Amino acid sequence: MTGFLPAGCQACQTPAQPLDISMAFQPIVNVRTREVFAYEALVRGPQGQPAGWVFDQLAAHPEGLYHFDQTCRITAIRWAARLGMTTRLSINFLPNAVYEPSTCLRATLRAAREANFPLNRLLFEITEHEHVLDETHVRGIIDAYRQYGFQTALDDYGSGHASAGLLLALRPDIVKIDMNVVRGLHQDPWRAALVAQYARFAAEVGVLLIAEGIETLDEARCLLNLGVTHMQGYYFARPEFEGLPEVPSALYDALEG
């Protein structure tokens, strides 16, 4: 990318000691249609080490943060193509790592083109791990991504930095409800009432709502009754290292039982 980088984008170049990474994938399902809506790419070490191990390595080389973001995108796309993924591919991205969207996307576009992976299947999740320093700039990134046919999601909504203020500022295509809001909502009227409000809001403004961290049948049933049809969590499938886990039909049958 060196020949295309404007001033201020030197951080996107390869660091002296680039990280060796791979990916695991976890399905996001539409329980109404019994289909996988997308697979989320989750960073792992080269032998399947957890994300925490990867970020510990990254902490020792903070100068490589922005190149790491680029590497994750490219690695996710290449693995998705290698595994024959036909659904959307959801990729986490660091909003503060993008200086100028059209320039920083060149490596992503090149990877998708080389892997023959359709651009309209790419979905980018804004993670709550970073405080968004410039909401106007990130909104510009979202607008630029839409021009390429990408969808964007606000991850971990209801926890950390993913607040209502950020949602109103960014106006993404998808909102993912944090697992801490979902956990045990079938036994907690407050949580259930809050998620019901989220579902009504999403329906009114045309945003897709996805609930994260579903671990039990009771949670999934309660969410479906509240109008949430898209879900992700261990109840459906755990992340699979360098593979695409399938969702057993019996899990959908249980929801309808």
Q: What are the tens digits of pLDDT across the range 202-229?
A: 999 999 999 999 999 999 999 999 999 9
CB atoms within 10 A of CB 23: 25
pTM (two decimals): 0.90
Structural domain includes residue 6: no
Structural domain includes residue 9: no
Measured distance CA(188)–CA(127) in Å, rounded = 26
Contact 202, 210 (CB under 8 A): no
111 alpha-carbon distance from chain centroid: 18
Alpha carbon of 34 to those of 136, 231, 235, 245, 257: distances in Å?
A: 37, 11, 14, 14, 14
Helix then strand then coil, % of the chain, to nearest 5 = 45, 20, 35
Residue 196 corresponds to which amino acid? A
Cβ partners under 8 Å of residue 190, min gap 6? none
CATH number (domain holding residue 145): 3.20.20.450
Q: What pLDDT shows up at residue 235?
A: 97
181 alpha-carbon distance from chain centroid: 17
Q: Which helix (H) or strand (E) element contains residue 114? A: helix 106-115
DSSP per-residue codes, 125-175: EE-TTS--S-HHHHHHHHHHHHHTT-EEEEEEETSTT--HHHHHHH--SEE
Q: What are the tens digits of pLDDT across the range 125-167?
A: 987 555 665 788 888 888 988 988 899 999 988 876 667 888 9
Structural domain includes residue 40: yes
Q: What are phi and psi of 189, to 5 degrees?
A: -60, -30
Percentage of residues in the chain with pLDDT exceeding 90?
65
Structural domain includes residue 14: no
User: What is the pLDDT averaged over residues 37-53?
Assistant: 96
Structural domain includes residue 101: yes
Q: How many domains does the chain have?
A: 1
Structural domain includes residue 11: no
Please give the residue range of the domain that contains residue 133.
21-256
Structural domain includes residue 108: yes
Structural domain includes residue 122: yes
